[in-house]
Structure 1
């Protein structure tokens, strides 16, 4: 037997409503949409006392009735009737008001935090086209990048940006699985209530932009934590908030994240489309770091497609663009787009292209700089690329030694990408299982994989 629904009972009491009154209003709302419902007070009794959940779309009618009565927005998640199948589809939808988008992010977050089945929703390849198309059309035809100085010095927005910087640093240093729940709580308890207030237009735009930054970071954390269907939905909603704010560079940055994810999941053609859409919508003067990122992600997709010449050219463009970056002038979300990151991604391009000299050049620079800055996740990924380079040269012992270094770095972060890199090395070293150094690597790897299970 289900537990009583105390949250629904509290909302009904707050509304000073009888169970029969709520049932009548639910029936009326349904009738307005051509649906014949015959609920009475006994149905509400079952919802409250027994915790029963009526089928969709009834929870939405209950939410609408309570919203009318209370004079504020109430969603099914507020009284424990979140329809996960509906939410999974809503998370892929690109549209509605910015507040609707923020509410979708919060509903995803509630299901995410409670470890409900939404965390197992699939990545949907077909959902990538419409958001990138609509964002690019808006970037080219509607968004003006010369609207004058944005008023971003207001206290609330400054606080949100401080929190973003804090959580991004935690993600970079400790991995996406480390602090996502805390960031979701901040988004739910502080950011969305702030969005619901009336603001001057300049403040409203700044709030949308700061919210988009936070939503992107939540999606990126979910991506790094291996929750790809969930991450995709967060990123789509972040893209819509970025569009609503008029922040073209931020929207391009979200598309970069979507491209990265698509390529990782084995969809390089879609990854290429997303990177190019972001690059086309982005004016170079807005963020050289973001442009460098889009170039390198274009290179990653081209390498996966086997386009050697075009991939090498894209890496060269990324490297040249990085030389133009002035990090002090870049937005906070672009601060991690630097040499350790970009050279690490370039190394993986040349890994896919089986060009070992270039792989080692970029991976070595990335690993050294990541070590200097204490960035274990990036260091693990770059050392993994170096290990693959050793295997290409048939230097198995050196590869295994670097693999042990990958494990040592991976245990200090909460990142499924690092775990995947260790598994990939295990697979590649499989034919050399009798080599003592490989055996030592496998022993250490099993310790990590046991912790990650």
Structure 2
């Protein structure tokens, strides 16, 4: 009788540990551009979280899988690349809705805010600014009710800096086709930089590269150069594939901004960071 009562508890604890380990492996794989491996680990984490009856872990795993979908890029060009990006954004939306349907209100406000940022990210990818804004407002509203003491320790990475940086990055995506969003993106990313913990080098590097791109979009080339120079130290501290990809995006964006001296200097500086400049 005792063994029968103990075994389910043991299986639940093992499922919890497996979910955490799988999510960590998934994130490391994603950041190293091992996308197929990352997807497998995220799915294992989600299944293990369900077995452990842990709704927060389940939501976190699907949020990670949605993020992975949203950063996938097609090898094709033109229309094929656009269609692929839209399909992956719709896939991510379905994952977020699945997580929201399964966990309901059983998760903390912080975890709800996390899911809403993934929802906003998908809408930004789909070029739907009004839907993006609604999802971003929901993320801010949920986060306003956050209480760190109620969150599991592995959710503590999702703080005010992460919220601002994630949404600022999505505003930047909108700004690439609708430049009027560039200043709002820069403001959100500036807040993220101010709030970042010192050891968050990868996130800080992404923030600083992002705000430099926002200033390029606005035509503020001297400021973009200054911000690009400020990003170099953070970029050099991490081997993240995501950071390298972001540096390449900034390099390519600068190539579309003419041949002024600040732009040329920014390109020369970034050329040393990117592996395959285009």
TM-score clears 0.5: yes
CA distance in 1, matches of 2:206, 2:105: 29
How far residue 382 of structure 1 moved from its aligned partner, in angstroms, is 1.5
Matched, 1:356 2:167: no
CA distance in 1, matches of 2:247, 2:99: 31
How far residue 285 of structure 1 moved from its aligned partner, in angstroms, is 4.2
Matched, 1:428 2:253: yes
| Structure 1 alignment gaps of length 5 or more | 1-198
Residue pair 1:255, 1:275 contacting (<8 A) in 2 also? yes
CA distance in 2, matches of 1:439, 1:226: 29
Matched, 1:259 2:66: yes
Matched, 1:396 2:227: no
How far residue 204 of structure 1 moved from its aligned partner, in angstroms, is 2.1
CA distance in 2, matches of 1:446, 1:281: 46
What is the TM-score when the length of structure 1 is the normalising length?
0.53
Residue pair 1:380, 1:405 contacting (<8 A) in 2 also? no
Candidates 182, 206, 214, aligned match of 1:381: 206
CA distance in 2, matches of 1:439, 1:356: 21
Structure that is richer in helix per residue: 2
CA distance in 2, matches of 1:281, 1:320: 21
Q: Secondary structure at 2:272's aligned position in 1?
A: helix
Residue pair 2:55, 2:106 contacting (<8 A) in 1 also? no
Counterpart residue number, 1:324? 145
How far residue 433 of structure 1 moved from its aligned partner, in angstroms, is 6.0
Q: Kindly report which structure 2 residues correspond to 1:147-158, keeping only aligned pairs within 5 A, or say none.
A: none
Deviations 1:286-323 (A, max 9, x none): 22211101001100101111111111010011011111
Deviations 1:99-138 (A, max 9, x none): xxxxxxxxxxxxxxxxxxxxxxxxxxxxxxxxxxxxxxxx
Matched, 1:208 2:15: yes
Matched, 1:223 2:30: yes
What is the TM-score when the length of structure 2 is the normalising length?
0.85
Candidates 189, 194, 214, aligned match of 1:368: 194
Counterpart residue number, 1:291? 112
Equivalent pairs counted in the alignment come to 253
Q: Kindly report which structure 2 residues correspond to 1:412-423, keeping only aligned pairs within 5 A, or say none.
A: 412-423=237-248
How far residue 450 of structure 1 moved from its aligned partner, in angstroms, is 5.1
Counterpart residue number, 1:241? 48
Counterpart residue number, 1:282? 103
CA distance in 2, matches of 1:232, 1:362: 29
Residue pair 1:403, 1:422 contacting (<8 A) in 2 also? no
What is the aligned-residue RMSD (CA, Å)?
A: 2.0
| Structure 2 alignment gaps of length 5 or more | 1-5, 73-84, 176-180
CA distance in 1, matches of 2:41, 2:125: 25
Counterpart residue number, 1:269? 90
Larger Rg: 1 or 2? 1
